[in-house]
Structure formats: C-alpha cells, structure tokens
Amino acid sequence: MPESPIRKLVPYAEDAKKRGVKVFHLNIGQPDIKTPQIALDAVKNNTIEVLAYARSEGSETYREKIAQYYKRNDIEVTATDIIVTTGGSEALLFTFGSIMDVGDEVIIPEPFYANYNGFSTASGVTVIPVISTIENNFALPPIEEFEKLITKKTKAILICNPGNPTGYLYSKEEIQQLATIAKKYDLFLIADEVYREFTYDGLAHYSVMQESGLEQHAIMIDSVSKRYSMCGARIGCIVSKNKDVIATALKFAQARLSPPTYAQIASEAALATPQRYFDAVIKEYVGRRDMLVAELQKIEGVQVASPKGAFYCIAALPVKDADAFAQWLLEHFALDNETVMVAPAAGFYSTKGMGMNQVRIAYVLNKSDLKRSVEILKAALKAYNQ
C-alpha cells in the first residue's frame, strides 16, 4: 500500500511546530472556508435519542434531495441511481470493487489524486497512466494515447474534473471524446466530480452524467467535503444509471453496514445552502489563485500551471528532488521562524521518475498567508540551491 504524499510529511511538520516554527500548510486540500451554519445547526438541534444505523444506501430523504440538487445542475437522476458512501474515497473503493476484478486495468491521466494509487492497490487493480504535461496546462492527452493503452483487461477510464492535483477543468468536447472511446471499447467512464462548484474564468463544468448515450458507462463520484467545507463529515456518493453497477455497489455498502447518521443529517441540511455562499467562495478562490500564480511566476526557475477549477496548482521547482526539498523545508529551514509545507508531486504519478521536481500547492489559505508562503518558498529555494 503506497503512503500518502500529502500526509507522510506530517511528523516533520509536527516536529517543526514543537520547535516553535510556524508552518504554513500548502500541502492539503482542507479549506479554511466556514462550513455552512445550516449544516452545523442541523446536528446541534436534532432530537435523536437512539443513534441508529442508517440504510446501507443512505437515507431515502437525503438521496431524494441529492437527486434534486443534481437536477438543478442539469443532471437527471433519481434517488435509486445514488448510493451514499463514507466519503468520496469509499465511493471510489466501491466502484473499483464493483466493476473490476483482480488484475484488471484502469486508465488514468496523470498526475492524479494520489489515493487513486491506494484504491487500486487495495482492489488488486493496475493503474495504466496516460501522461499529461505542465507545458499544456495538464489538458486531456490526445485520445489516440488512450487507445494505445486499451487491452482485454481494461475496464475503465478515470478522470478527476476539475482535477486534483492540477486544477484542470475538462471541456465538454474533451468529455465527449472520452465518451466516444468508452462506448467504442465498452468501458466505464468514472468521473470524480467533487470540485464541481469550483470553476473559474466564466467556464462551466460538464458532467459525464450529462452526456447522452453514456448512461450504461458513466459513473460519477461525489462528496460534500469540498463543496460545503465539510471534509470531516465523510459523506460522498456513487451516481450511475447503470442498474448493475448500483446493485453491485450496494453489496459493498451492506458489508460496511451504513454511512454515518449524524453526517448525513448535516449533509442533507447543507443542500439548502444559498447560492450566495458559493458565489463568495468562488470569488475568494479566484483571488487566491490569481495572486498565488502571479507570485510564483516571479520566482526564477519556477514553472506553474494555471488552474481553471478546484483549488490546487502544480508548480515545477528548480530542484532535482521535491520530496527531499519538502522535508528539508520542515527540518532545516525557517524564515523569521516560519516555513511552508508542500506536497511533493511525484506521489501523484504512477510512472516512476515523473514529477520529481514538482509540488502540489493548495491555495486554501487567506491571501496574506499565501503571499507570505511564497516569500518563504522563494527564500528557501535560494538557500537550498546554494
């Protein structure tokens, strides 16, 4: 089981804090945005006397309301097309177990969310990477590159849209290219869409569930973690119109009994969050992104992709080994008793040797802290390379 590139440096960060060093966390997608009060109040004010099991597929009222939420986003599904899971992570594990056997293959554009490696390992599934590059902002690789990789063992293509760790937003045309190949080779197209709300520059998100003719192939993964800044709720879902997929995933859901009751109460309430909440959040993230990218571009030797969604970017640094640099930042460097924590990007690739000089930066801090973080990073790179 591979370790998390996001979390493996935590002991070094904790040691730095014990030494009195302030650590700016750019390593993990934990938003600092306040959770909607309506969700918190739903838990505080409930009158439950017995905290009972929920239904394995999630409560009926919650699934009905999720379906209504999707309808408002031009996605026509019903409650029976949805299984509530313990986070998007469990949704992916259930999906892998439902559609693939040991030794099967899934094609994923890399860099990709690091835990896809872990989910694949846990399921005995082999990740077949197709490489996207920082030079073209991590756009979808040519569709011919996918076709070259398809074998008898290929069962699915998996994308994250908008992307973690790249912030890339797939266009409608790119989704349609993937849909074409999924239908041609009878593959599943899995889309991790947990960052759906976070799209910038006037661009719109296009879901695999909106693509006509893909009903038996499309599987959507979703979560409340980022949308409502509720990472600790651990509530996600699988959405598919393929009845066999849902029926099989339900067996996995029954084996783990049920998703958490209190978290479902909070998540159901969160669905009533007004649009002005998202408008303010998106405005804030756009400001952070613009400032972060502009400041990073001022550092000699740094190359940075410009994200169109989510709240991450990949930066190539003038170092040979970003893993060693990230650890050095925490163990040996401080500027006025402050340092930064980044996520080495090699862990977001499955191709050995890729991304060695790259880091993922999550712009989940306020603008002043982000600016200070880049100042520290600039000074650290200068000192490290001397």
Q: Please indicate, yes or no, whether residues 372 and 327 belong to a single structural domain of this protein.
A: yes
Question: What residues does 358 pair with on adjacent strands?
Answer: 316
| CA 272/CA 55 separation, integer angstroms | 22
Taken in order 16, 17, 19, 22, is the CA torsion positive or negative? positive
User: Which residues of 142-260 form beta strands (DSSP E)?
Assistant: 154-160, 188-192, 218-223, 236-239
Cα dihedral sign for 119, 96, 241, 236? negative
The last residue of a domain, from among 248, 270, 292: 270
- Please indicate, yes or no, whether residues 26 and 59 belong to a single structural domain of this protein: no
Q: How far apart are CA 155 and CA 142, in angstroms?
A: 19
Helix (H) or strand (E) holding 300: none
Which pLDDT value is given to residue 8?
A: 82
Q: Does 200 map to a domain?
A: yes
Whether 76 and 17 share a structural domain: no
CATH number, domain of 380, equals 3.90.1150.10
Do residues 126 and 225 share a domain? yes
Is 363 domain-assigned?
Answer: yes
Is residue 4 assigned to a domain? no
Shared-domain flag, residues 95 and 130: yes
User: What pLDDT is attached to residue 28?
Assistant: 86
Residue 1 lies in a domain: no
Residues 70 and 125 both lie in one domain = yes
Picking from 201, 138, 142, 205, the residue whose alpha carbon sits closest to that of residue 171 is 205
Q: Which of 207, 236, 270 is the last residue of a domain?
A: 270
Nearest to 330 by CA among 380, 383, 292: 380
Single-letter amino acid, residue 11: P
Tell me, what amino acid is at 325?
A: F
pLDDT digits (tens, 9 = 90+) for 269-295: 999 999 999 999 999 999 999 999 999
Beta strands per DSSP E along the chain: 22-25, 82-85, 105-110, 126-131, 154-160, 188-192, 218-223, 236-239, 303-304, 312-316, 338-341, 343-344, 358-362
pLDDT tens by residue, 188-218: 999 999 999 999 999 999 999 999 999 999 9
Residues 234, 95 within the same domain:
yes
Instruction: Tell me, yes or no, whether 5 lies in a domain.
Output: no
pLDDT single digits (tens) 135-144? 999 999 999 9
21 shares its domain with 49: no
Indicate if 316 and 380 belong to the same structural domain. yes
For the segment 105-134, the average pLDDT, to the nearest whole number, is 96
Counting the structural domains of the chain, the total is: 2
Same domain flag for 183 and 321? no
CATH assignment at residue 45: 3.40.640.10
**In sequence order, which residues have a C-beta less than 8 Å from that of residue 196 and are 6 or more positions away?**
73, 162, 205, 207, 222, 227
Per-residue pLDDT for 6 more than 80? no
Single residue among 270, 292, 308 that ends a domain in this structure: 270
Instruction: Work out the pLDDT band at 106, boundaries 50, 70, 90.
Output: very high
Mean pLDDT of the chain: 96
User: What is the per-residue pLDDT for 221?
Assistant: 98
What is the per-residue pLDDT for 31? 86
Q: Please state the rounded mean pLDDT for residues 56-63.
A: 98
- Residue 74: inside a domain: yes
- Give the 3-state secondary structure of residue 40: helix
**Residue 253 and residue 298 share a domain:** no
User: Within a domain: residue 328?
Assistant: yes
Q: Which domain holds residue 30?
A: 10-34+276-385
Is residue 362 included in any domain, yes or no?
yes
pLDDT in tens, 306-357: 999 999 999 999 999 999 999 999 999 999 999 999 999 999 999 999 999 9
260/124 same-domain check: yes
